[in-house]
């Protein structure tokens, strides 16, 4: 790795001020993404600020109303093992458990997880290949290169990458919010508005700016939480990012869907909510497969596959269906 | 008290589970410097300028080498030979040409690895880039005939074309396999240290210390006696560490110039182009058969990529020359396409693992075309005569493999109709394949020393790659000497020991093992001599054949007379008693019999038809690898091979970017090897018997045999499950949707 | 934490100070306090191998993708190639060299030998370190991706072969000893 400085902070305000003032400074939590990026020279911060010493940011709280507050420094494994997370929102525990490996989950923080950058192989290559996300203006190698693992929704000519986080898919489906503290104080960003589509500026993954520190993630209470499921399709059985994944949460009256929330992973620059399908699914019967299928299909009319990932359009619908059924079975 | 045949735990087990086993990059060396290679980011062209000024001034840097400053090397010897095997003929940092992405363009030597690697990023290389040629759809048009490499490039027995044309049933299909990488867990590493008198000691991740020494001697122009090569523990080889690759030469020369030891370990990403890989193949097979399933003709052609500067051949057609009886004729042919990449190399199991996918898939297609059970089809085409050479097989327990494997698997409960077996929502598929694997014979030397304390030391320049060499050599020596295995110490992996061969092609047991047996025999015979004619000879006047040895004790039959090795040496005033073993077999092709290993393997898969997911449910392999020396380590070899086959079938592929002409995904995240969760329980059966033609130990090759035919068995099972015939490996989700 | 550069409260615009010289750190490794100076960029893996000569911990990918570098930090398994040594200042580290007690192998080490849970042995230190901690995780009611109902408490009795496979999947083995590793871990878990 390149030489850099390492410092730590004891309170959030100092950390935020330092980050805001210094464009070459990066927060580091578990390090499992940032250090990999630095080794491959896709991130070259001159200064690292270790935020693990910040107080009160690793807590996992079961809120009295049935919701959750997960500190940004809580480790993936602790969140996945937390009894209230498992009972109230199995989709979160599952999304975490299907991610990475036992060792990585012990290191990786929730804040770092939702901040992790794309696994596009061109972006991560140490040889600095043409990539607009890595070097704006250099072109997108994946657009006409190998793009099986890339987007089918919401991409631009500038970038066709996908967001790799599993738990972000679950959180997006649950309408979670991200609590961020910045120079101007604390604000709450709905998960669905946290990530950006690539557009002309794929170098920016999300809406955070200099200084912004993720403090926690809040998951609202809701009937859909308990009846939820995460389904991840990958080429090998473990320790791999998703080819396609789906998070589903439903509330039902008998077998009839009262409300459904669905998000897909591995298909876009951000977790992809199936908003149209969610509307179409209302009052459909969980037993009526054909009705479920055609409701889901309404969200795929705008799918735009690339040369190597046309299969994802069909696969994603089947995965969403299966996730929905499994969530329904928990209702 | 026979050690051979016992499931003995590994002699080196304790070292390996405590972290005490020292692999090449673990060897402490005072004063060592660290080197990092800077590689080309383009695949074709030349370097116009290389600016090293900033790098040279970076903290900790001792030197930066480019093609302008690296000392010259002698060309690699022609023809290529296992005695001095180069991985590729194109040598590093000798000119400004770029022939593949990942080619070395500079070498930085610094105090720490971080310093060297970082300084490397400060080097500015300006390229004159041209569009690379990649292996793709144009391949068949641009394929050319390569010069002969390991075997004849083409073969023909009878008239295959005529036989296929006239056959009652024909299968003609194209099958493809992907580029794959060894991805041993241990990255290639080398530490070069020159001493004051100009002797080079090279700690090297190699499966072939003597070949490395000889090649270095030629290319670097130094006498062999001035080179020691050491490799005592290898973190996996799989063929990838059998030949000498460019980085080793760079480390040796840099250390010479700097007069300090240089350590160089490839990064994981560099493991994809700095060393070899298994090339993709496009194979066309035509089978002709009668309605009874008897084969009348096979035509098997294969095309694979090779670099601009070398002609590596993947002999995928080899398997069709000898696996099944064919009445009319067999032809095989291999062509290559020159593209911008580095030289491919042998990878578990070269040639065979690729060829079997095509042949044994086609056999399954034939079984379905005729409506005959796939096992019955193989039985019908079994033969005791090698169709290629006309020689009888030394031993061929194919029938036994098919029978025992099928019985263990429960093949008779299979319903042949595709999509006819289910478990809940999932489709169940069962498939099988037969397998054959080449036997290699090499000369090998060993020395066994009996010591005055009654223990023995085995010394031989062979290698431990994970197959259990330390343990099996201990067993062989122990039995031959009549000692308990704990009394035998094994030393290997150093060119100062008696010369042995490359540990490739599953040949170590049969060949290096034979040399150890001969050496132990020689030591034992000298001991027996002493009991008959030595000082104060205890059995004076007796006949040799009456001397028995057990547990370190020599005894005379039908008497109470006995003496231990320890007492015998003491009585004769000897500190040691040495036996030399020199195994020098005839080349396989010149032997009276054809020697091969055989297998029949059975796979059951579970397919989620909606999601296109294939998972291996269970697997049974029945193997004829001659006599098994250690069933415990043999089973490990077998499960390893099966899992390699699972990787080939379902996961592994190194994709080349069509524009950049480089392997993308040069890491364990993008190149998928199986994880623990991908593998169910695996059953292995050993049905072979002592094969004296193969080796004095009766052993045939095992490790690579077991990786052969897993892919077609799985592909055949996928067909049985789904009715979809996948002819392109690996079988990924999109091929089944 | 004791780095040369520290963010101190309210120091104004230039809050980060220090240089890229080596920073002093103290780690308790296998029960012994070890002090050393490292560059901030030195990973825990490189510090163990190059500074302390503890070469049992292996570098196979250096990217968090294989598990060969697994060690325990404060009792948890993690990947030493993906964390900085200076970030672990003051922590308790256990490496493969620290598992033996009074010359006796740890039960998992012995089970690996008995079940031939390795071939070349290169991934083995990582496998073993991972297995030791994994059994503790299972005892602590941690579910896995192989757990059918994460909503229910998990007990060690449910540590089936499928559970072990999934929980050990962060450790690649190219020699591919997986079934034997599962047998070794199952035996040791049952005895623990
Ligand atoms: C081999 C491998 C496999 C993986 N597989 C998966 C997988 O299958 N699914 C999956 O979801 N993930 C996977 N991951 C990714 C892993 O989950 C992330 O690397 C991890 O969650 C990042 O967390 P961290 O604490 O280590 O982040 P760090 O690496 O410390 O930080 C990552 C980024 O987040 C920023 N950051 C961290 N905390 C904050 C904060 N509080 N506020 C603002 N910014 C912050 C950092 O500045 C940095 O830019 C895998 C990773 C590896 C290496
Ligand atoms: S898809 Fe995005 S990240 Fe990947 S190469 Fe294109 S611009 Fe870069
Ligand atoms: S070396 Fe750390 S995970 Fe591979
Ligand atoms: S034992 Fe060789 S990699 Fe696992």
Cα separation, A262 vs B335, in Å, equals 51
Placement of tokens 């056959």 in the chain: B167
Contact A97, C145 (CB under 8 A): yes
Instruction: Judge whether B459 counts as a catalytic residue.
Output: no
Contacts of C145 in chain A (CB under 8 A): 94, 97-98, 238
Sort strands C70-73 and C92-94 into parallel, antiparallel or unpaired. antiparallel
Contacts of A236 in chain B (CB under 8 A): 650-651, 672, 674-675, 677-678
What SS3 class is residue B375? helix
Let me know if A156 is exposed, middle or buried by CB neighbors in 10 A (0-12, 13-18, 19+): middle
C10 — pLDDT class (breaks 50, 70, 90): very low
User: Is B668 close to C54, i.e. CB distance below 8 A?
Assistant: no
Placement of tokens 């690793």 in the chain: A58
Residue B618, token pair as written in the block? 């269970």
Q: Give the right CATH number for A228-329 from 3.30.565.10, 3.30.390.50, 3.40.50.1970, 3.40.47.10.
A: 3.30.390.50
Cα separation, B513 vs B629, in Å, equals 10
| Beta bridge mates, B613 | B608
Nearest to B235 by CA among C173, C181, C182: C173
Q: Is the ipTM of this complex over 0.90?
A: yes
Q: Could you tell me how far CA A324 lies from the centroid of its own chain?
A: 19
Give pLDDT, residue B691.
Answer: 96
The end-to-end CA distance of chain B, in Å, is 57
Contact C124, C168 (CB under 8 A): no
| Cβ partners under 8 Å of residue B576, min gap 6 | B449, B450, B451, B452, B569
B138 — pLDDT class (breaks 50, 70, 90): confident
Cα separation, A253 vs B657, in Å, equals 51
The end-to-end CA distance of chain A, in Å, is 50
Percent of chain B with pLDDT over 70: 100
Chain B residue with Cα closest to A308: B734
| Cβ partners under 8 Å of residue B163, min gap 6 | B288, B296, B297, B326, B327, B328, B329
| Cβ partners under 8 Å of residue B76, min gap 6 | B86, B88, B89, B91, B215, B218, B219
Contacts of C123 in chain A (CB under 8 A): none
Contact B325, B355 (CB under 8 A): no
Nearest to C83 by CA among B632, A104, B155, B511: A104
Residue B423, token pair as written in the block? 């478990």
- Asked if domains B31-131+185-236+241-272 and B442-585 share a fold, the reply is no
pLDDT tens-digit map of B338-351: 999 999 999 999 99
Cα separation, B1 vs B5, in Å, equals 11
Q: State the distance from the centre of ligand 2 to the C-alpha of A120, rounded, in angstroms.
A: 6
DSSP label at A236? Answer: S
Give pLDDT, residue C7.
Answer: 39
pLDDT tens-digit map of B88-97: 999 999 999 9
Nearest to B432 by CA among B341, B367, B476: B367
Smallest CA–CA separation between B665 and chain A, in Å? Answer: 6
Between the alpha carbon of residue B66 and those of residues A138, B35, B289, B341, C136, the distances in Å are 28, 13, 59, 21, 52
Contact B289, B322 (CB under 8 A): no
Instruction: Spell out, as residue ranges, where chain A has pLDDT lower than 50.
Output: none
Q: Give the right CATH number for B31-131+185-236+241-272 from 1.10.357.140, 3.90.1170.50, 3.40.50.40, 3.40.630.40.
A: 3.90.1170.50
Q: Could you tell me how far CA A319 lies from the centroid of its own chain?
A: 17
Phi-psi region of B91 (alpha: psi -120 to 50; beta: other; left: phi over 0): beta
The arithmetic mean of pLDDT across residues B315-335, rounded, is: 98
Can you tell me which atom of ligand 2 is nearest the CA of A160?
A: 1
In B74-133, beta strands by DSSP E: 97-98, 104-110, 124-129
Q: Is the pLDDT of residue B722 over 60?
A: yes
Let me know if B608 is exposed, middle or buried by CB neighbors in 10 A (0-12, 13-18, 19+): middle
B1 — pLDDT class (breaks 50, 70, 90): low
Give pLDDT, residue B529.
Answer: 97
Candidates C8, C78, C147; nearest CB to A103: C78
Nearest to B736 by CA among B419, B283, B478, B514: B419
User: Is C42 close to B639, i.e. CB distance below 8 A?
Assistant: no
How many Cβ atoms from other residues are within 10 Å of residue B309's Cβ? 15
Residues with CB under 6 A from ligand 4: B 185, 236, 466; C 118-124, 173-175, 177
Domain ranges of chain A: 5-53, 228-329
Q: Is the pLDDT of residue C11 over 50?
A: no
> What is the number of the ligand closest to the CA of A134?
2
For chain A, list the contacting chains (3+ Cβ pairs, <8 Å).
Answer: B, C
How many Cβ atoms from other residues are within 10 Å of residue A87's Cβ? 15
Sort strands B562-564 and B200-204 into parallel, antiparallel or unpaired. unpaired
Q: Which residue ranges does chain C devote to CATH 3.10.20.30?
A: 23-98
Q: Which of B56, B693, B704, B734 is catalytic?
A: B704
Q: Is the pLDDT of residue B432 over 90?
A: yes
pTM: predicted TM-score of the whole model, two decimal places: 0.97
Can you tell me which atom of ligand 4 is nearest the CA of B185?
A: 3
Smallest CA–CA separation between A127 and chain B, in Å? Answer: 6
Give the CATH number of domain A5-53.
3.30.43.10
pLDDT tens-digit map of B463-518: 999 999 999 999 999 999 999 999 999 999 999 999 999 999 889 999 999 999 99
Q: Is the pLDDT of residue B443 over 70?
A: yes
Let me know if B1 is exposed, middle or buried by CB neighbors in 10 A (0-12, 13-18, 19+): exposed
Interface of C with A in 93-112 (CB under 8 A): none
How many Cβ atoms from other residues are within 10 Å of residue B214's Cβ? 21
C2 — pLDDT class (breaks 50, 70, 90): very low
pLDDT tens-digit map of B588-601: 888 899 999 999 99
- H helices of B534-575, in order, are 565-571
- H helices of B484-576, in order, are 513-533, 565-571
Q: Is the pLDDT of residue B145 over 50?
A: yes
Q: HEC states along B131-157? A: CCCCCCCCHHHHCECCCCCCCCCEEEE
What SS3 class is residue C188? helix
In B589-715, beta strands by DSSP E: 596-608, 613-624, 682-686
Cα separation, A188 vs A306, in Å, equals 35
Nearest to C80 by CA among C50, C119, C120: C50
pLDDT tens-digit map of A27-67: 999 999 999 999 999 999 999 999 999 999 999 999 999 99
Candidates A18, A40, A107; nearest CB to C7: A18
Sort strands A25-28 and B281-289 into parallel, antiparallel or unpaired. unpaired
Nearest to B353 by CA among B299, B433, B285, B295: B433
Contact B598, B686 (CB under 8 A): no
Q: Is the pLDDT of residue C17 over 90?
A: no
Residues with CB under 6 A from ligand 1: A 26-34, 36, 51, 72, 99-100, 104, 107-109, 111-113, 115-116, 164-167, 213-214, 241; B 669; C 64-65
Placement of tokens 């009262």 in the chain: A258
Chain C residue with Cα closest to B646: C176
Give the CATH number of domain C23-98.
3.10.20.30
Cα separation, B630 vs A31, in Å, equals 45
Between the alpha carbon of residue A23 and those of residues A20, A47, A209, the distances in Å are 7, 9, 10
Report the residue of C57, C145, C155 to disrupt the A interface, i.e. the one with the largest count of A CBs within 10 Å.
C145
HSE-up (13 A, CA, CB side) for residue B17: 29
HSE-up (13 A, CA, CB side) for residue B357: 34
Q: Is B155-179+277-440+590-736 a CATH 3.30.365.10 domain? A: yes
The arithmetic mean of pLDDT across residues C142-166, rounded, is: 96
Sign of CA dihedral B636, C61, B507, B178: positive
Residue B616, token pair as written in the block? 């291996």
What DSSP element (H or E) covers B35? Answer: strand B33-39
Tell me if the bond preceding B79 is cis, omega within 30° of 0.
yes
Q: Is C107-191 a CATH 3.40.640.10 domain? A: no
Residues with CB under 6 A from ligand 2: A 118, 120, 122-123, 131-134, 140-142, 150, 159-161, 202
Dmax (CA) for chain B in angstroms is: 85
User: Is C1 close to A31, i.e. CB distance below 8 A?
Assistant: no
Sort strands B456-460 and B488-492 into parallel, antiparallel or unpaired. parallel
The arithmetic mean of pLDDT across residues B698-716, rounded, is: 96
- Fold (topology level) of B442-585: Aldehyde Oxidoreductase; domain 4 (3.30.365)
Tell me if the bond preceding B349 is cis, omega within 30° of 0.
yes
Chain C residue with Cα closest to B32: C50
Give pLDDT, residue B316.
Answer: 98
Give pLDDT, residue B588.
Answer: 81
Higher pLDDT, C9 or B407: B407
User: Is C145 close to A98, i.e. CB distance below 8 A?
Assistant: yes
Cα separation, B227 vs B204, in Å, equals 12
Percent of chain B with pLDDT over 90: 97
Q: State the distance from the centre of ligand 3 to the C-alpha of C170, rounded, in angstroms.
A: 10
Residue A293, token pair as written in the block? 């299928």
pLDDT tens-digit map of B566-582: 999 999 999 999 999 99
What SS3 class is residue A273? strand
C20 — pLDDT class (breaks 50, 70, 90): low
Q: Which residue ranges does chain C devote to CATH 1.10.150.120?
A: 107-191
The whole-chain average pLDDT of chain B stands at: 97
Q: Is the pLDDT of residue C15 over 70?
A: no
DSSP label at B485? Answer: G
The arithmetic mean of pLDDT across residues C89-115, rounded, is: 97
Q: Is the pLDDT of residue C4 over 80?
A: no
User: Is A318 close to B677, i.e. CB distance below 8 A?
Assistant: no
């Amino acid at each position: 790795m390149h030489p850099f400085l390492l410092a730590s902070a004891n309170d959030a305000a100092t950390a935020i001020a330092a980050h805001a003032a210094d464009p070459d400074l990066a927060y580091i939590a578990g390090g499992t993404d940032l250090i990999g990026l630095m080794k491959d020279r896709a991130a070259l911060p001159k200064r690292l600020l270790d935020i693990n010493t910040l107080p009160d940011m690793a807590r996992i709280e079961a809120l009295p109303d049935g919701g959750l507050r997960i500190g940004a420094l809580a480790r993936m494994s602790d969140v996945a093992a937390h009894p209230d997370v498992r009972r109230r929102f199995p989709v979160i525990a599952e999304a975490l458990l299907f991610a990475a490996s036992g060792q990585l989950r012990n290191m990786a923080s929730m804040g770092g997880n939702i901040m992790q950058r794309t696994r596009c192989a061109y972006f991560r290559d140490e040889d600095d290949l043409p990539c607009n996300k890595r070097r704006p203006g250099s072109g997108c190698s994946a657009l006409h290169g190998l793009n099986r693992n890339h987007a089918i929704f919401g991409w631009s000519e500038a970038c066709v990458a996908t967001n790799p986080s599993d738990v972000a898919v679950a959180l997006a489906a649950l309408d979670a919010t991200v609590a961020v503290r910045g120079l101007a104080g604390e604000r709450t960003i709905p998960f669905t508005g946290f990530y950006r589509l690539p557009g002309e500026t794929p170098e920016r993954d999300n809406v955070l700016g200099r200084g912004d520190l993720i403090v926690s993630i809040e998951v609202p209470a809701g009937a859909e939480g308990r009846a939820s499921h995460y389904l991840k399709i990958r080429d090998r059985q473990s320790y791999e990012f998703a080819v396609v994944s789906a998070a589903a949460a439903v509330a039902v009256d008998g077998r009839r869907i009262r409300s459904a929330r669905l998000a897909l992973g591995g298909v876009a620059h951000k977790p992809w909510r199936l908003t149209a399908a969610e509307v179409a699914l209302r009052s459909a019967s969980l037993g009526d497969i054909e009705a479920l299928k055609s409701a889901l299909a309404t969200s795929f009319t705008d799918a735009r596959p690339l040369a190597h990932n046309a299969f994802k359009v069909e696969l994603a619908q089947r995965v969403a269906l299966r996730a929905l059924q499994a969530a329904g079975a928990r209702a | 008290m026979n050690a051979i045949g016992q499931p003995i735990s590994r002699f080196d087990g304790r070292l390996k589970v405590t972290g005490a086993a020292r692999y090449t990059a673990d060897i402490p060396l005072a004063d060592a410097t660290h080197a990092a290679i800077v590689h080309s980011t383009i695949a074709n062209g030349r370097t116009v300028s290389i600016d090293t000024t900033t790098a040279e001034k970076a903290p900790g840097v001792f030197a930066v080498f480019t093609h302008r400053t690296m000392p010259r090397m002698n060309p690699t010897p022609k023809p290529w030979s296992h005695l001095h095997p180069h991985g590729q003929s194109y040598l590093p940092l000798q000119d400004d040409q770029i022939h593949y992405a990942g080619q070395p363009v500079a070498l930085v030597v610094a105090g720490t690895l971080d310093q060297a690697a970082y300084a490397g990023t400060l080097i500015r290389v300006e390229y004159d880039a041209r569009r690379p040629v990649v292996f793709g759809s144009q391949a068949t048009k641009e394929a050319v005939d390569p010069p002969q490499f390991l075997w004849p490039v083409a073969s023909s027995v009878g008239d295959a074309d005529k036989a296929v044309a006239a056959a009652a049933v024909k299968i003609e299909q194209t099958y493809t396999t992907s580029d794959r990488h060894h991805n041993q867990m241990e990255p290639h590493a080398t530490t070069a240290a020159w001493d004051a008198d100009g002797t080079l000691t090279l700690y090297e991740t190699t499966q072939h210390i003597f070949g490395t020494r000889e090649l270095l001697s030629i290319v670097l122009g130094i006498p062999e006696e001035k080179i020691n090569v050491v490799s005592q523990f290898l973190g996996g080889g799989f063929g990838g560490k059998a030949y000498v690759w460019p980085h080793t030469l760079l480390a040796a020369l840099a250390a010479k110039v700097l007069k300090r030891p240089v350590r160089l370990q490839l990064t994981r990403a560099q493991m994809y182009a700095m060393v070899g890989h298994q090339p993709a193949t496009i194979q066309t097979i035509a089978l002709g058969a009668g309605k009874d399933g008897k084969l009348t003709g096979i035509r098997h052609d294969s095309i694979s990529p090779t670099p601009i500067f070398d002609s590596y051949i993947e002999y995928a057609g080899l398997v069709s020359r000898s696996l099944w009886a064919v009445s009319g004729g067999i032809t095989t042919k291999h062509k290559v396409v020159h593209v911008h990449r580095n030289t491919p190399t042998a990878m578990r199991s070269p040639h065979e693992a690729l060829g079997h996918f095509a042949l044994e898939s086609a056999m399954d297609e034939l079984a379905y075309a005729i409506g005959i059970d796939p096992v019955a089809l193989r039985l019908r085409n079994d033969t005791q005569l090698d169709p290629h050479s006309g020689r009888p097989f030394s031993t061929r327990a194919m029938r036994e493999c098919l029978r025992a494997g099928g019985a263990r698997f429960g093949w008779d409960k299979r319903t042949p109709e595709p999509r006819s077996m289910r478990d809940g929502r999932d489709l169940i598929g069962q498939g099988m394949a037969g397998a054959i694997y080449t036997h290699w014979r090499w000369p090998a030397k060993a020395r066994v020393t009996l010591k005055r304390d009654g223990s023995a030391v085995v010394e031989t320049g062979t290698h431990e790659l994970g197959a259990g060499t330390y343990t099996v050599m201990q067993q062989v020596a122990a039995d031959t000497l009549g000692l308990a295995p704990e009394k035998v110490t094994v030393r290997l992996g150093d060119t100062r020991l008696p010369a042995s061969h490359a540990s490739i092609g599953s040949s170590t047991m049969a060949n290096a093992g034979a040399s150890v047996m001969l050496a132990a025999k020689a030591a034992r015979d000298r001991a027996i001599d002493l009991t008959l004619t030595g000082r104060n000879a205890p059995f004076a006047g007796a006949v040799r054949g009456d001397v028995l040895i057990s547990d370190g004790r020599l005894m005379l039959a039908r008497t109470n007379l006995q003496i231990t090795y320890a007492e015998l040496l003491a009585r004769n005033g000897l500190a040691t008693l040495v036996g030399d073993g020199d195994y020098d077999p005839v080349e396989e092709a010149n032997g009276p019999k054809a020697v091969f290993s055989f297998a029949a393997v059975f796979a059951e898969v579970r397919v989620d038809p909606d999601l296109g997911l294939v998972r291996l449910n269970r697997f049974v392999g029945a193997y004829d690898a001659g006599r098994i020396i250690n069933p415990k380590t043999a089973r490990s070899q077998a499960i390893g091979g099966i899992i390699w086959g699972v990787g080939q079938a379902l996961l592994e592929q190194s994709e080349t970017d069509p524009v950049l002409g480089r392997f993308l995904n040069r890491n364990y995240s993008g190149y998928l090897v199986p994880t623990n969760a991908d593998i169910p329980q695996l059953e292995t059966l050993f049905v072979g018997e002592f094969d004296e033609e193969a080796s004095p130990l009766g052993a045939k090759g095992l490790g690579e045999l077991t990786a052969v035919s897993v892919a077609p068995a799985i592909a055949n099972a996928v067909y049985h499950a789904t009715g979809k015939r996948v002819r392109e490996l690996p079988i990924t989700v999109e091929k089944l949707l | 934490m004791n780095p040369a550069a520290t963010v101190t409260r309210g120091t104004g615009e230039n809050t980060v100070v220090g240089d890229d010289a080596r920073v002093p750190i103290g780690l308790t490794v296998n029960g012994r306090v070890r002090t050393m100076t490292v560059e901030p960029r030195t990973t825990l893996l490189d510090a163990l191998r190059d500074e302390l000569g503890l070469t049992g911990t292996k570098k196979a990918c250096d990217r968090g993708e294989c598990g060969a570098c697994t060690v325990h930090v404060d009792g948890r398994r993690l990947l030493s190639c993906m964390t900085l040594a200076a970030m672990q200042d003051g922590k308790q580290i256990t490496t493969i060299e620290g598992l033996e007690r009074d010359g006796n192998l740890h039960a998992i080490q012995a089970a690996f030998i008995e079940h031939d849970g390795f071939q070349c042995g290169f991934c083995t230190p990582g496998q073993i370190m991972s297995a030791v901690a994994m059994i503790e995780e299972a005892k602590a009611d941690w579910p896995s991706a192989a757990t059918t109902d994460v909503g229910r408490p998990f007990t060690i009795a449910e540590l089936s072969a499928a559970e072990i496979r999934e929980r050990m999947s962060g450790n690649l083995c190219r020699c591919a000893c997986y079934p034997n590793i599962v047998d070794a871990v199952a035996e040791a878990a049952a005895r623990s």
